[in-house]
Amino acid sequence: MRVLVVDDEPLAVDWVIQGLRGLPDAEVVGSAGDGDEALAKVASLKPDLVFLDIQMPGRTGLDVARVLSTGAGPDVVFVTAFSDFAADAFDLDAADYLLKPVRHDRLAEAMSRARRRREASRAHQRLVALEQRLAEVERAQEPAEEFPSAFWVRQRNGRVRVPVADIRRIEADKDYALIHTSLKTHILRTTMRELERQLNPRQILRVHRGAFVRISCVARVERAGRGVMRLHMEDGAVVDVGASYVGRVVEALGLSPAGLEPD
């Protein structure tokens, strides 16, 4: 990981750099002595991680972190002599918060934590890209005029567009439908019967009087008893299948009814 060290005390900079030298995945690409220089070096050196002091002349480390948080910037580990700013630091999604004098083993731990965060972020980006590609394929397969491509959901200050391709599952809640996507849940005033007319059953199937699921998001099927089926979704949700819907679910998933009988 490319690392930038920022502190207005040269001895503190040297101490952090010394601790990072023994770590195989740490490449120190530069240092800075104040907030403005830090932002300039981030722009020019493109570090993956910044070890950032808080109390500095001009822009504070918190000011710098706020600027970096507005874009796809590096992760930040705060290094400071003050414990008072920890809440502010983690509000800015800091990877870690180290108190001076910093032990070198804590530097190594912070590096490891930042690396895991970065790997998780990259894995999430790959997953999002794959889901978008699958959604594009599904949209290409959908009849152009038969089904809507999105729902407009009312919010406090207007409406938000929810693409059908983003929907993972739907559940009824009285006169409303809870539309679950990979990012959040939306509330739409409608009926299950109306949704059944609007959704392509080859992709989002009604499995219960009060539930729809995206077929491609079913991770596991459970038969808990004769006529009792549960769908375990990729997001961890468990959806019961109504007895009258079992046949269509088995067919949609391409399963053998005999192979689903409980022991």
Binned at pLDDT 50, 70 and 90, residue 257 comes out as: low
Q: DSSP 3-state assignment of 24?
A: coil
Is pLDDT of 126 > 50?
yes
Asked if residue 186 and residue 101 are part of one domain, the reply reads: no
Residue pLDDT, tens place only, 195-216: 999 999 999 999 999 999 999 9
Q: What is the dihedral of CA 145, 207, 233, 141, to 10 degrees?
A: -20
The first and second tokens of residue 243, run together, are: 């007895």
Domain of 221 in residue numbering reads as 150-260
**Rounded to an integer, what distance in angstroms lies between the CA atom of residue 70 and that of residue 163?**
26
Asked if residue 99 and residue 157 are part of one domain, the reply reads: no
Asked if residue 227 and residue 174 are part of one domain, the reply reads: yes
Query: Which strands form 49-52's sheet, in the order they lie side by side?
Result: 27-32, 2-6, 49-52, 75-80, 96-99
**Rounded to an integer, what distance in angstroms lies between the CA atom of residue 212 and that of residue 171?**
6
Query: pLDDT value at position 199?
Result: 93
Average pLDDT over residues 153-166: 89
Asked if residue 61 and residue 9 are part of one domain, the reply reads: yes
For 81, residues 6+ apart whose C-beta sits below 8 A from its C-beta are 55, 99, 100
